[in-house]
Structure 1
Amino acid sequence: MNYWLMKSEPAEVSVDDALAAPRATVPWTGVRNYQARNYMRDAMRVDDGVLFYHSSCAEPGIVGIARVASTPYPDPTQFDPRSPYHDPASKRDEPRWVLVDVQVLRKTRNLTLPELRADPQLEDLLVLKKGNRLSITPVEPRHWRRIVKLLDRPAA
């Protein structure tokens, strides 16, 4: 089993939006970074753990525990000229971008970026590395266990 941190802007898809969706599952559309795409395409497996992370908001942080709920398949937004994620160079018979479905298992308190940074056991968590802008990053099992433990505690 692998673990991932997946960032979503709440204005696009929030943890509450995902919970309100059928089976609390949403397609992870709009990824337009090759490394993040490769994680979904080549490394993610159904039932992998996901830390649902709100980004580009007042208080970025981990707001839910989820799982990968599908194998990768073509992201339909790449073919939609009305979508901000449209990619005119991507062809239906050879799609450039894929997505996976993500199912939220539970909403958590917001484990904020400052809280993550303050924990010495998480100092090498990829999302905390200077210059890291990826929307999807792998999470080591030891980091996953630590974060789940922190999520079960009240905010400091």
Structure 2
Amino acid sequence: MERAYWLMKSEPDEASIDTLAQSVSQCLPWTGVRNYQARNFMRDAMRIGDGVLFYHSSCPQPGIAGLAEVASTAYPDATQFDPASPYFDAKSDPATPRWVHVDVRFVRKTRLLGLAEMRATPSLADMVVLQRGSRLSITPVTPTQWRAVLATLGVPDDRPSRT
């Protein structure tokens, strides 16, 4: 089975590619997702080893800042039950959690591939993140788009296929 690929957005003041690189085991839980479609991607489609384009959003220079991989299957996001968390969800029941997350592992930091450069790259024109009105924090990336991003960044695609 071929690996799947994802673009995952994070605000760098909350969790940047550097935060991920410097964390214990270079791995972080992708907490705080509160959109059902993005949650469903994590819960139903993501598999360990899937490739991740780590995207900095809501910052002066948004864009792809590095590569990561999915490092766990989906499991309940504890922030939904923590009243002190900005991601607290009073309607979520511990017996049937509403929100899940996956762990993400650092692969490498890259130069920033900004939105303008992404838009100017014809092979990336149909990426979900570049579509008008696209606000999802997690979006699928096709194998062709993955290879185009890596080629644009000058990074080899040396990750094995998922079997």
TM-score range, shorter chain: over 0.9
Q: Which of 128, 131, 134 is equivalent to 2:130?
A: 128
**TM-score (normalised: structure 1):** 0.97
Alignment partners' CA distance in 2, 1:51 and 1:23: 19
Q: Deviations over 1:9-37 (max 9, x none)?
A: 00110110111111110000000000000
- Report the 3-state secondary structure (helix = DSSP H, G, I; strand = E; otherwise coil) of the residue aligned with 1:17: helix
Find the counterpart in structure 2 of residue 70 from structure 1: 72
1:46-85 matches, within 5 Å, as 46-85=48-87
Q: Which of 116, 119, 136 is equivalent to 1:117?
A: 119
Shift of 1:140: 0.4
Counterpart AA for 1:57: C
Structure 1 unaligned blocks of 5 or more: none
Alignment partners' CA distance in 1, 2:128 and 2:87: 25
Find the counterpart in structure 1 of residue 5 from structure 2: 3
Alignment partners' CA distance in 2, 1:64 and 1:40: 19
- Report the 3-state secondary structure (helix = DSSP H, G, I; strand = E; otherwise coil) of the residue aligned with 1:87: coil
Alignment partners' CA distance in 2, 1:45 and 1:8: 20
Alignment partners' CA distance in 1, 2:152 and 2:36: 31
Alignment partners' CA distance in 2, 1:63 and 1:104: 11
Provide the aligned length of Structure 1 versus Structure 2.
153
- Report the 3-state secondary structure (helix = DSSP H, G, I; strand = E; otherwise coil) of the residue aligned with 1:63: strand
Alignment partners' CA distance in 2, 1:97 and 1:81: 15
- Report the 3-state secondary structure (helix = DSSP H, G, I; strand = E; otherwise coil) of the residue aligned with 1:51: strand
- Report the 3-state secondary structure (helix = DSSP H, G, I; strand = E; otherwise coil) of the residue aligned with 1:52: strand
Q: CA RMSD in A?
A: 0.7
